[in-house]
């Protein structure tokens, strides 16, 4: 049985540095993101994961490889929330269009709805539960927040409260057989 699931958000890109919503636009890491990924490698190299997975988008695969994981499998379920018409816009720009907008409540026009992303997270977790030991997934900010919410059997709206910075990671595990979030938005083990 999986003992811990480590979710790693990719390093910084030019778009993430400016707060632009980036889902299907396939942007690589910028120079800061490359440095961040190399720093994460020092932290993650001590792990001996039973499996490593990545989103198919290059900012995630590049982070995975810079962290020293050359053997990994692509999982489409790890792809970032599809922002539809809000792709490339900042939250401030979106609020000018819709002042009441909240990603985790409304989703995006032409993109994914919260319930669809939650179902994708459930599917991912079901697939991973058959694995043993530590599993590492390189992914993105919003989908990782939804995966964490789903892991602890909470609704998608909880993800609104789980801030997740570039090149940070979270640890999902168990306490007394109950799913828990052991650590979140960290850059090193304590």
**Alpha-carbon torsion, ordered 176, 147, 131, 70, to 10 deg:** -130
- Terminal-residue alpha carbon distance, the chain: 24
The catalytic position among 21, 77, 80, 112 is 80
Model confidence over 61-107: pLDDT tens digits?
A: 999 999 999 999 999 999 999 999 999 999 999 999 999 999 999 99
State mean pLDDT over 140-157. 98
Q: How far apart are CA 145 and CA 81, in angstroms?
A: 10
State mean pLDDT over 126-151. 97
**Of 189 and 152, more confident:** 152
Active site (annotated) includes residue 112: no
The CATH homologous superfamily for domain 2-186 is: Phosphoglycerate mutase-like (3.40.50.1240)
State mean pLDDT over 40-44. 91
Model confidence over 105-122: pLDDT tens digits?
A: 999 999 999 999 999 999
DSSP 8-state class, residue 76 = G
Active site (annotated) includes residue 10: yes
Q: With H, G, I as helix, E, B as strand and everything else as coil, classify residue 144.
A: helix
Q: How do the domains of the chain map onto residue ranges?
A: 2-186
Q: How far apart are CA 48 and CA 89, in angstroms?
A: 38
Q: How far apart are CA 182 and CA 162, in angstroms?
A: 13
Secondary structure percentages of the chain, helix, strand, coil, to 5: 40, 20, 40
The catalytic position among 10, 21, 140, 142 is 10
Is it the case that residue 190 has pLDDT exceeding 80?
A: no
Q: With H, G, I as helix, E, B as strand and everything else as coil, classify residue 163.
A: coil
Residue 42 pLDDT level (bands cut at 50, 70, 90): confident
């Amino acid at each position: 049985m999986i003992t811990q699931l480590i979710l790693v958000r990719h390093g910084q890109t030019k778009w993430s540095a400016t707060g632009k919503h980036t889902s299907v636009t396939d942007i690589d890491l910028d120079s800061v993101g490359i440095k961040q990924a190399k720093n994460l490698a020092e932290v993650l190299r001590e792990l001996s994961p039973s499996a490593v997975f990545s989103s198919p988008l290059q900012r995630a695969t590049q982070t995975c490889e810079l962290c020293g994981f050359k053997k990994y499998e692509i999982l489409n379920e790890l792809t970032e929330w599809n922002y539809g018409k809000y792709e490339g816009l900042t939250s401030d720009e979106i609020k000018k269009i819709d002042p009441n907008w909240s990603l985790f409540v409304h989703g995006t026009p032409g993109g994914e709805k919260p319930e669809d992303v939650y179902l994708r997270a459930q599917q991912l977790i079901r697939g991973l539960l058959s694995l043993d030991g530590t599993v590492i997934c390189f992914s993105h900010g919003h989908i990782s927040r939804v995966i964490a919410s789903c892991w602890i059997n909470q609704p998608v709206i909880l993800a609104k409260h789980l801030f997740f910075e570039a090149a940070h990671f979270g640890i999902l595990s168990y306490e007394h057989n109950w799913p828990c979030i052991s650590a979140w938005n960290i850059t090193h083990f304590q």
